[in-house]
Amino acid sequence: MMDEARPLRQTRRDGLKLMAGLVALFLSGAAVRHRSRNDPTTTTPTLRRRYSRDEDAAWSAFKKQFARSYASVDEEEERRSYFHQRMRELDALNEKNGEPVFGINRWADRNPGTHAYARGREGMGYVPDEYKVLDLDAWKAQRRTLLGANFSNGVVDWRRVNGVLTPVKNQGQCGSCWAFSTAEQIESQLVLAGAATVDLSAQQINSCTNVRGCCDGCGGGDTVAAYEYLTSVVGLAPDAYWPYIQGLTPEFECTSSGCTAPCATKLVDLVRDYVYIGPYAKVTDYAYSIAPCFDDCRHQSLSTLAAAVENMPVSVCLNAANWDDYVGGVMTVETCGGYAYDDLDHCVQLVGYNNATDSAYWIVRNSWSTDWGEDGYIRLAFDANTCGLANEPTVAVVEVGGP
């Protein structure tokens, strides 16, 4: 488990170090700007842009650190222009944020307007006909008492409670964030229901959820639809029985239902062959942690959400538009972007908060591997509906599946 007071990872230090060099450069005005022809009608490039020594050093350091190479001189020139443009954008975002949280990663030379990591929630919101809001008092009366889960002094961190969280996952090149967020919520609830820790199948959710037109597998979906699917079947299988097989590398990118693995595994085996397969999760119901929001979401109850998180990790869907270049620190509402319901594009797991520091924050677990952010986690400012994390928080009601 991660310790709240641990040093930032080397990748964050390296990213911010390179970023700091470029910030100084751009503030000093040393960048050489591209020259254009006097003829305003021409669209043909003139001369290659010339760069300063500092810019040359920064570009060389980036290529060396991330082992970047290019097929041609023209491709490298193009990627380099994207790199310097992105550094200017990240400099502006860091200034807006109030502290540096964005820095150089291996995707800093990507095309403008593109993402380095898959999401899967944008435009896929599922609004149920009816919904329940969590009765926290009733839930607390039935919960399992876990050693070390009695949080105090304004700090809640489920990473410190052995077994409640499984390791950070990697959704790869598939828009399956919603399936991972659902599986992670059920994994945590299964432990709180008295079971041992078990990794559950995000692939089953991704491949099989089809409720009133939602969802599209790697093309995206929503956690609420996933819960409704799971309440209609035997249960959620262990990952060891139904492993994740969507592509992790760009050559196997999948962003549609057409390339999503089929829903072909027999769930009846979970009961019949339980002695071989092991425990699974029976999802009997779900609820919103607080009343959900389907509009501009300006008045969500953060205190009610914090009370829920004190008792359990929570699945949340939010706006991760600016997360690609996050390297560590507390991201504020100013740099997250919009937080209305229609801004949500990514689903993750909310696993704690720290309200005992001047820069109070929520602790969020992502599904982009431990190579991203702070070992796979991000901290979001606690004093607002940052990134819209309070719009659609949900929890599952589960039982330990058996023969």
Assigned token pair, 389? 């994390």
Among residues 177, 214, 293, 387, which one is catalytic?
177
What is the Cβ-side half-sphere exposure of residue 166, based on CA atoms within 13 angstroms? 25
Among residues 214, 346, 387, 391, which one is catalytic?
346
> Pairing relation of β-strands 394-401 and 346-354?
unpaired
Assigned token pair, 60? 């060389």
253-to-99, 171, 209, 247 alpha-carbon distances in Å:
34, 11, 20, 6
Instruction: Quote the CA–CA distance of 309 and 329 in Å, as a whole number.
Output: 21
Assigned token pair, 383? 């004093």
Q: Could you give the angle at the alpha carbon of 22 between the alpha carbons of 5 and 17, nearest 5°?
A: 25
Note whether 325 and 86 are within 8 A (CB).
Answer: yes
Q: Residues with Cβ < 8 Å from 321, sequence gap 6 or more? A: 336, 337, 343, 345
Q: Could you give the angle at the alpha carbon of 54 between the alpha carbons of 51 and 59, nearest 5°?
A: 75
Instruction: Quote the CA–CA distance of 281 and 141 in Å, as a whole number.
Output: 21
The conformation of residue 133, written as its DSSP 8-state character, comes to B
Q: Is 34 a catalytic residue?
A: no
Instruction: Quote the CA–CA distance of 300 and 214 in Å, as a whole number.
Output: 25
Among residues 206, 366, 385, 391, which one is catalytic?
366
Residue 325 identity (one-letter amino acid): D
Q: Is 347 a catalytic residue?
A: no
> Pairing relation of β-strands 280-288 and 377-381?
unpaired
Residue 352 identity (one-letter amino acid): G
Q: Residues with Cβ < 8 Å from 9, sequence gap 6 or more? A: 328, 374, 375
Assigned token pair, 165? 């969280």
Q: Is 208 a catalytic residue?
A: no
Instruction: Quote the CA–CA distance of 292 and 394 in Å, as a whole number.
Output: 9
> Pairing relation of β-strands 280-288 and 394-401?
antiparallel
> Mind telling me the catalytic residues?
177, 346, 366
